[in-house]
Homo-oligomer: A and B are copies of this chain.
Amino acid sequence: MYNFTFHVPTRIYFGKGQIKHLPEIAASGSKTLLVYGGGSIKRAGIYDQALELLKGAGVEVFELPGVEPNPKIETVRKGAELCKKEQINSVLAIGGGSTIDCAKVVAAAAMYDGDAWDLVINSKLIKAALPIYSILTISATGSEMDDTAVISDLGKNEKWATAAPCMKPTMSILDPVYTFTVPKKQTAAGTADMMSHTFENYFSMEVADVQKRLAEGLLKVMIKNGPIALQDPENYDARASLMWASSHAINGLVGNGCSPTWPIHMIEHELSAFYDITHGEGLAILTPVWMEHILNETTAPYFAAYGRNVWDIREEDDLEAAKLAIAKTRSFLFDTMGLPADLRAVGITDETHFEIMAEKASPSGKKAFYPLTKEDIVEILKKAL
């Protein structure tokens, strides 16, 4: 196990009706910026309820609506400007990961003198942020309990993750009932997203028994409950299980001490940057292809352990067990969850940008589970087509 720091200060209120804790936001001051996406939170009644609670707590509300599924830097800039102009002292995101990501960088940019994009491409510039609060409405990214945000500049085909301890939310409200109305497509993509986070952390050479066994536990929860939520969207226990599993997939619990390098996310961010596709769908398409591409004698025992511990595969030969595990993963994502199985299914029909995408999705300096060259990435993208 590598050395690590584990620090998850976010106060989580989990369960039915936990929005009642929203007035605690008043501890951060009397002005908040409410960040949200489209009209779904209005249709679901969360918007009205939140406004009433905030009013009762004496908090004045400013609004940043219209956050995009791949949140844009222009929206972040608008939010930061409003915070500075109105001397707002907290940011409240109501929505999914995109909304929370946007709110995080708004909160940081509000305390930064330069342009918000600086903070996206250089996380070291993030020295402080307004306190961030969230009410989660989609189980997927785990942004409600981590320090990371992903922001795009689609004009430049750029999509990057940035992170800082001060961007960890102060408080997040996780009410599974809010996810009852999440459509099938988003439920499936969210499940793929949280599974991918777990995979990215899990497939590491490092010995870290605790993290690996916990990751396997989370994967089992996702594999069991994803299909239930698809078939029976108002199943509370399934929605609750997905919601709590998605937070733990990325809050450090299964990653700290393992030094993961997140190769699939690096490639997917390029797909989204060039084609603005749904993040979870891109991850699902890439995952089995990546697994097959890197399968060899060194990686086989890791995929075999995954198959045995998560899928209950009994095959004793590592390579065979690994192949079965990958097949199970493929079948789960595309047959059971109904996710698009290749890039053509999400509208990407040619290789035009693959070279430049592979160039940009360059590996980090850390010791990877399987270091990918530019050629590897191009090949993975071609296989995914």
Q: Please tell me how many copies of the chain the complex holds.
A: 2
User: Contact check: which of B6, B12, B225 meets A14 at CB < 8 Å?
Assistant: B6
Q: Rank and list the top 5 A-B pairs by shortest CB-CB distance, nearest first.
A: A3-B15, A213-B217, A6-B12, A209-B241, A217-B217
Shortest C-beta distance, A188 to chain B (Å), equals 18
Shortest C-beta distance, A70 to chain B (Å), equals 28
User: A210 and B241: CB pair below 8 A?
Assistant: yes
CA distance A10 to B248 in the complex (A): 16
A216: which B residues are within 8 A, CB to CB?
Answer: 213, 217
User: A237 and B207: CB pair below 8 A?
Assistant: yes
Known: A1-B236, A8-B9. 9 other contacts (CB 8 A): A1-B237, A3-B13, A6-B11, A9-B9, A209-B241, A210-B221, A214-B214, A217-B217, A244-B257
A5: which B residues are within 8 A, CB to CB?
Answer: 11-14
A208: which B residues are within 8 A, CB to CB?
Answer: 241
- A272 interface contact, C-beta 8 A: no
- A224 interface contact, C-beta 8 A: yes
- A residues 284-333 with Cβ under 8 Å of B? none
Given A209-B221, A218-B210, A224-B209, the answer on whether A18 and B6 have CB atoms closer than 8 Å is no
User: B4 and A15: CB pair below 8 A?
Assistant: yes
Shortest C-beta distance, A369 to chain B (Å), equals 18
Shortest C-beta distance, A118 to chain B (Å), equals 28
User: A257 and B14: CB pair below 8 A?
Assistant: yes
Shortest C-beta distance, A60 to chain B (Å), equals 27
